Amino acid sequence: MSMIGKRIRMFRLVQGFKQSELGERLGCSQSAVSRMEKGELVPNAEMIPQLARALRCMVTDLLPETEDAPFQITVRPA
C-alpha cells in the first residue's frame, strides 16, 4: 500500500465513507478507489485536489513530505 493510498483510506474511514461512496464523489468506480488505496493506481495531478475536496482535507494531508511523516487527521466541515 502506498503512503497516499494509506492516507486516502484513513480519511475515508474516519468519515465513514464506503469505497463506492467515495467513488461517487469522485466520479469513478469503487474498484478505482480500491486500487488507489492499494497503491495499484496512483492518482494524477488532477485527481489529488478532487480527492482532497471529496475527503474534506487539504491536498498536503494526502501528500506526505517523507514516508515516515506523522500526520493528524483534520476533516473540514462539509
pLDDT at 11 over 60: yes
Average pLDDT over every residue of 1-26: 93
Report which DSSP code applies to 66. Answer: S
pLDDT at 50: 96
pLDDT at 63: 84
| Cell 484513513, located at residue | 10
Fold of 3-62: 434 Repressor (Amino-terminal Domain) (1.10.260)
**Is the distance from CB of 5 to CB of 64 less than 8 angstroms?**
no
pLDDT tens per residue across span 40-68? 999 998 999 999 999 999 898 888 665 55
**Is the distance from CB of 2 to CB of 39 less than 8 angstroms?**
yes
pLDDT at 10 over 90: yes
pLDDT tens per residue across span 14-39? 999 999 999 999 999 999 999 999 99
**Nearest CA among 24, 62, 56 for reference residue 43:** 62
